[in-house]
């Protein structure tokens, strides 16, 4: 049995990248003590910078004041030692999207945390069941898939692995709700709900551009104004990161076949190092 929500005090986050730092931030904003771990101090420092930038935006729109910002930052401890997650009640893993890496982390975590700690993974496409198979206590593993940017996106996808227990799923829903998020549940099928549907949409937008259906601006405008999405497929791909889109598409392609084949232009852009907003150029250019 995992803990109930009222017993959760400290949250561990493995990975201080875009997703990990966002998860650490929303947990601290909800009042939890947080331990954010990455493998190098530079990554931890950069995670804190991302959090501070985001909190500054909340301050700028008067959602929080400077004192609350300082309190949130104080509640987050950074570390490079996984062993520092020993007293966590919930751990969310947001490391590289590689099965071996995740399985190793879960195996290490199982030896570090107590048996009532919920072990969640933020994976966007990998199988929860396969990740969980690396440990003995598989029933406490669930998917807790946050959306980017975590501090502003309301939705969280809860993924039920083959062995996930009812109490682990219940805690995952309650924890996400306590962070101010709204949840939906997906079975452990490739891409779950969000990426299974989003990635073909993005790839089709890229193919439409590559095949000269319309300019990139018109493809994005057409989808924004024509279907009421906040951003079209090419802009959204740039925001997510083209490398992440390609990796997710490749996983889906491998599992689900040709209808998920990544667009050729997506592969070429990633090969050229044009990964979107984070590198200053993807389908568009950024300052």
Query: Binding string to ligand CAA for residues 33 to 72, with x set by CB under 6 A, is what?
Result: ---------------------x--xx--x-----------
Query: Binding string to ligand CAA for residues 111 to 140, with x set by CB under 6 A, is what?
Result: -------------x----------------
User: Residue 14: in which H helix or E strand, if any?
Assistant: strand 10-14
Least distance from C-beta 149 to ligand CAA, angstroms?
A: 4
Instruction: Indicate which residue of 97, 157, 165, 247 is catalytic.
Output: 157
Least distance from C-beta 144 to ligand CAA, angstroms?
A: 12
Active site residue 157: yes
**Window 183-212: residues binding ligand CAA (CB under 6 A):** 194-195, 198
Quickly list H helices, the chain. 18-29, 41-60, 66-74, 99-112, 128-132, 166-178, 194-210, 216-227, 233-240, 242-256, 264-271
Which of these, 248, 159, 264, lies nearest to 208 by C-alpha position? Answer: 264
Distance from the Cα of residue 168 to its chain's centroid: 19
147 near ligand CAA, rule: CB under 6 A: yes
CA dihedral 27, 33, 35, 36 (to 10 degrees): 30
Among 66, 231, 273, 280, binds ligand CAA (CB under 6 A): 231
Least distance from C-beta 192 to ligand CAA, angstroms?
A: 9
Instruction: Indicate which residue of 21, 54, 124, 139 is catalytic.
Output: 124
The 10 Å Cβ neighbour count of residue 184 is 13
CA dihedral 259, 98, 232, 180 (to 10 degrees): 120
225 near ligand CAA, rule: CB under 6 A: no
The answer to whether 2 touches 117, Cβ cutoff 8 Å, is yes
Among 230, 257, 271, 287, binds ligand CAA (CB under 6 A): 230
The number of residues that bind ligand CAA (CB under 6 A) is 20
Please state, in angstroms and rounded to a whole number, the distance separating the CA atoms of residues 220 and 214: 10
The torsion region of residue 181 among left (phi > 0), alpha (psi -120 to 50) and beta comes to beta
Least distance from C-beta 239 to ligand CAA, angstroms?
A: 6
17 near ligand CAA, rule: CB under 6 A: no
Among 78, 143, 151, 161, binds ligand CAA (CB under 6 A): 151
The 10 Å Cβ neighbour count of residue 211 is 10
Among 103, 133, 148, 221, binds ligand CAA (CB under 6 A): 148
Rounded to a whole number of angstroms, the CA Rg of the chain reads 19
Least distance from C-beta 56 to ligand CAA, angstroms?
A: 8
The CB-side HSE value for 78 (13 A sphere, CA atoms) comes to 21
Among 83, 101, 111, 152, binds ligand CAA (CB under 6 A): 152
Least distance from C-beta 237 to ligand CAA, angstroms?
A: 10
Burial (CB < 10 A; 0-12, 13-18, 19+), residue 140, is buried
Catalytic positions: 124, 145, 157, 195
Given the rule CB under 6 A, which residues bind ligand CAA?
54, 57-58, 61, 124, 147-149, 151-153, 194-195, 198, 230-231, 236, 239-240, 244
């Amino acid at each position: 049995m995992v803990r109930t929500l009222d017993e959760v005090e400290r949250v561990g986050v493995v990975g201080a990248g875009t997703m990990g730092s966002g998860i650490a931030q929303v947990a601290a904003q909800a009042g939890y003590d947080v331990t954010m771990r990455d493998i190098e101090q530079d990554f931890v420092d950069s995670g804190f910078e991302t959090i501070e930038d985001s909190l500054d935006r909340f301050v700028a729109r008067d959602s929080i004041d400077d004192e609350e910002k300082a309190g949130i930052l104080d509640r987050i401890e950074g570390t490079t030692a996984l062993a520092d997650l020993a007293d966590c009640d919930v751990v969310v893993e947001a490391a590289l999207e590689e099965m071996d890496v995740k399985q190793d982390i879960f195996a290490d975590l199982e030896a570090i945390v107590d048996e009532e700690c919920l072990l969640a993974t933020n994976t966007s496409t990998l199988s929860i069941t396969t990740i969980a198979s690396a440990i003995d206590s598989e029933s406490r593993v669930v998917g807790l898939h946050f959306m980017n940017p975590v501090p502003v996106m309301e939705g969280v996808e809860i993924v039920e692995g083959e062995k996930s227990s009812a109490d682990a799923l219940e805690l995952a829903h309650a924890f996400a709700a306590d962070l101010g998020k709204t949840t939906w549940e997906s079975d452990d099928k490739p891409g779950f709900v969000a990426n299974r549907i989003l990635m073909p949409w993005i790839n089709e937008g890229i193919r439409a551009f590559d095949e000269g259906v319309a300019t990139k601006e018109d493809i994005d405008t057409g989808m924004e104004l024509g279907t009421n999405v906040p951003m079209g497929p090419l802009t959204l791909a740039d925001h997510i990161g083209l490398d992440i889109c390609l990796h997710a598409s490749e996983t889906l392609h491998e599992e689900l076949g040709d209808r998920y084949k990544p667009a050729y232009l997506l592969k070429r852009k990633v090969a050229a190092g044009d990964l979107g907003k984070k590198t200053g150029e993807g389908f568009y250019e950024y300052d």
